[in-house]
Structure 1
């Protein structure tokens, strides 16, 4: 081999070695960004910021930032991640919207099941069925009687098309076979304000948004949407909708972590390993419990099980959304 070829070969080996070293050293001092496809200050944003803090130590002290890109049922922010370089530096925290977007969003610019690497589930957030304080009903049984007497007159609030409260409301109406007038708002805060003020009648929303209002007796609480009663002091006496007669009714607003499709397998493993450590962080668990959320400890923290779970959720929600005929353009 002549000297020129030797120099070229040596340079190529050096570049390959540097590339391998950089990948092995991920994140190597470069900041990681978690994209939240909803506005800052909301439940998903709070989960992402708590997770960002908990991920720093298991990622070797890396800087983990949070960015927000809201709109179109959460698909705008998700699309930014789907189209981002597959190098592990742009991640996505998304909720149940990953399962509803394929049906809910017209002309969705990516494929949920094939354009992301699934890194593991984060938490489950229970839902509560609540009503305006002026309602005479004091139990779920009395509420169903009131609903029967006021068919066609009931306003059901939500935080916007595709929001957790919107989805829970759709499932509830489907379960009791009664249509109500949906009243969408631009976020949970204005919807809750109008519920407290009596401008709307009912809402089904996350414990992250309702626990303090229930505790302060600003709204009436009728049931939780989990299969078992909750241990949270303010909610422990609320029955489940299943025990109240709605067979198989269960809905939680879960969150998961994702990376762009094609992210190298070793980087995926580092991120999944870091996630599993973060989910056991006492401070992270405490913060999630404060939001009324339950940190995932089961097999869904594994990427394959996470993906399998989302596929099952897509199958669950698709017919409900199609029957309702709603879309988030």
Structure 2
């Protein structure tokens, strides 16, 4: 996994092409000093990597440093709170992700309302997930997994990258929609979860796709299906969960947000440059290399995604009775 992490960090390097791009005219001279992007999770994970990729792109385009700060803790709430209470001037931004939508219901006493207190800037990427099984699990299709989990609930422990993470929520959504009750075993990130899955300490993991292909190709793990609504280029042979559980869909996503009341022209400048990243073949490939499918689009489109995801995961949190650990 150290090699995978190193590969991801190498992908975050700025291309010569990006550095050579001219500085674009920005809103009222914005930015005139370094901008901070807050990542609410530890270095080396998907939030951190996405923040660094888009930060380096924005820095090259706008002629100022975009500095990524990792402020992990409380499922991303520590970093989020710092941003929503920052000055709404565009100099402190948040790399938003699935836990922001989950935490709105999962935590009872947050000192902010995420939808009310942030200004969506732009979606960045969506990352599919895949069901991975230890080879000892006698299931080769989603219906077989459902039947096995119903018949032998004590034999299926479901690992995750952490409580309230996108992989955890994908698994809980599966529990609800498939009518099963797999036991959740949270880890501090996907890497240790994969290690224990390979070792047989747990039997199943909803994993984000980057870093999984070698384990599948060598037979150390069995891939069952993807969580997205349609098949993905990385694993075109895998069916979707929705083929067997109609209406199922889950994915990891990343986007950029600012404090509420950030000037519209600042938001527009950032949005324009993020969208430009996906017109650049080099940047598009960098995001593809970490499993990312472009989101981009308008601030309103990203705001709708956040609202839809908040409502969706609220239903799962309430139906399962989840509480923060």
TM-score (norm 1): 0.86
**Counterpart for residue 43 of structure 2:** 40
**Counterpart for residue 10 of structure 1:** none
> Offset of 1:209 from its aligned partner?
4.5
Unaligned residue ranges in structure 2 (runs of 5+): 1-25
CA distance, structure 2, for counterparts of residue 106 and residue 84 of structure 1: 22
**Counterpart for residue 309 of structure 1:** 305
The answer to whether structure 1 residue 27 and structure 2 residue 31 are counterparts is yes
**Counterpart for residue 291 of structure 1:** 290
Instruction: Summarize deviations over 1:169-197 as a string: whole Å, max 9, x none.
Output: 10011111111211111221111110000
**Counterpart for residue 4 of structure 2:** none
8 Å contact 1:157–1:185 — kept in the other structure?
yes
Provide the secondary structure at the position in 1 that maps to 2:212.
helix
Judging changes above 3 Å, is the alpha-carbon distance between structure 1 residues 109 and 136 closer, same or farther for their aligned structure 2 residues? same
**Counterpart for residue 99 of structure 1:** 101
Instruction: Summarize deviations over 1:4-56 as a string: whole Å, max 9, x none.
Output: xxxxxxxxxxxxxxxxxx9711112x111111101100111111111112212
> Offset of 1:305 from its aligned partner?
1.8
Output the aligned Cα RMSD.
Answer: 1.7
Provide the secondary structure at the position in 2 that maps to 1:165.
helix
Provide the secondary structure at the position in 2 that maps to 1:242.
helix
Provide the secondary structure at the position in 2 that maps to 1:307.
helix
Name the count of aligned residue pairs. 300
CA distance, structure 2, for counterparts of residue 214 and residue 95 of structure 1: 27
Instruction: Summarize deviations over 1:295-323 as a string: whole Å, max 9, x none.
Output: 125xxx21112112211111111011112
> Offset of 1:327 from its aligned partner?
2.6
CA distance, structure 1, for counterparts of residue 217 and residue 282 of structure 2: 24
Find runs of 4+ consecutive structure 1 residues off by over 4 angstroms: none
Judging changes above 3 Å, is the alpha-carbon distance between structure 1 residues 105 and 32 closer, same or farther for their aligned structure 2 residues? same
Q: Which moved more, 1:208-217 or 1:33-42?
A: 208-217
Match 1:203 to one of 188, 202, 205: 205
